[in-house]
Amino acid sequence: MAGPLAATVEPVTGRERRKRRPRPARLGWLFALPAVVVYLTFVIRPLLLTVQYSFYDWNGIGAATWTGLDNYVRLVTDPELSGTILHAFELILFFSFVPVLLGLAVAATIRQIAQSRLALVARTVLFLPQVIPLVAAGIMWTWLLSTTGLINQLLSGIGLGSLTRAWLGDFGTALPAVGVIGAWVQIGLCTLLLLAGMSKIDNSLYEAARLDGAGPWREFRSITLPGLRQEIGVCVTVTVISALASFDIIYVSTQGGPGNATMVPGLEIYYLAFAEREVGMASALAVALTVLVLLCVLPIQRLTRDGTR
């Protein structure tokens, strides 16, 4: 690689006809070329094909027939399909709101001991759920939430035995139970991100607030929260995407069941495309999911990026 590239460069640097350093366009794009090629092949092309497939009725083998917007009409009218999107929004509550709010509360409480030895250990421990595969988190929690699992054991232990149930198998609790798994995965990341953000806030602000007699709540609202705008934005973005595009956890813990109680777009796309061979419908849902993610992420980015710096 070094040979040919060096050869194309030599005459340019040698010429030095302009005062400014020469920046030949071709050379720059040559550097970007490998990335551009793999990106176009494995991201942009599939993306465009998804859009194309979504206007067809195709079983993946035979001929495809053009059906226009039929797949999208079905997406809106079929409660089973539109339900998956509602489930994804419900999961945002658990994957995103709970971890961010809890993370804020915890980070604000432990701010003063952020440099202690305990906090250093916590940095490692709280990251464990982010390091393991989501599938493993799913398997672990399937066991915890099962009839004989730890959750029911704890409930019986504190005299709430009447509440015990197969959490992931119950129509009423399956989706929140899956949400709890997601919350467990995200809370450590959110806490540590927010804590890192808080450490960047000037300490003299807190000193001044204390001297003025501000309580912890006042301090949190007037100093911590505004200073964390960017970090909160990051937490919300990351967790919202993980909720809307959830797949791994649900695949191993409930497979979308019981009934369709925990079916989410990602899993439905997988079933439609590879089990039911409805490639067109799967693609329409895929387009909807992609647009949904963009629609949720862009405003969050705008809200939190503006005003900072």
Partner 1 sequence: MIVTRRETLTGRILLVLLMVLTVLPFVSLFVTALHPSGTYPDGLSWPSSPQWGNFIDAFQAANMERLLLSSALIVLGVVPVSVLFGTMAGFAFGHLRMPGHRIGFLVFVLGLTLPFEGLITPLYYQVRDMGLLNTRWAIILPLIGLFMPFSVLWMRAHFITMPDELSEAARIDGASTWQLFWRVHVPLARPALTSLGILLFLWTWNQFLLAIVLVDDPAKRTMAGALGAFQGQWGTDIPLLCAGSLLILTPTLAIFLIFQRRFVAALLQGSLKG
One residue of 69, 78, 172, 210 binding partner 1 per CB under 8 A = 210
One residue of 91, 223, 231, 236 binding partner 1 per CB under 8 A = 231
For CA atoms 265, 271, 273, 278, the dihedral sign is negative
CA–CA dist 293, 36 (Å, integer)? 23
Q: Contact, 190 vs 106, CB < 8 A?
A: no
Binding to partner 1 (CB under 8 A) within 258-277 occurs at 265-266, 269-270, 273-274
Binding flag, residue 38, partner 1 (CB under 8 A): yes
User: Which residues neighbour 250 within 8 Å (Cβ) at sequence distance 6 or greater?
Assistant: 138, 178, 256, 262, 264, 266, 267
Instruction: CB nearer to partner 1: give 105 or 225.
Output: 105
Q: Exposed, middle or buried, 120 (CB in 10 Å: 0-12/13-18/19+)?
A: exposed
Closest CB 256 distance from partner 1, rounded Å:
13
One residue of 100, 126, 198, 261 binding partner 1 per CB under 8 A = 126
Site string for partner 1, 156-195 (x = CB under 8 A): ----------------------------x--xxx-xxx--
| Cα distances (angstroms) measured from residue 295 to each of 45, 174, 302, 304 | 21, 27, 11, 15
Closest CB 106 distance from partner 1, rounded Å:
6
Instruction: CB nearer to partner 1: give 174 or 244.
Output: 244
Q: Contact, 113 vs 123, CB < 8 A?
A: no
Binding flag, residue 248, partner 1 (CB under 8 A): yes
Instruction: CB nearer to partner 1: give 106 or 174.
Output: 106
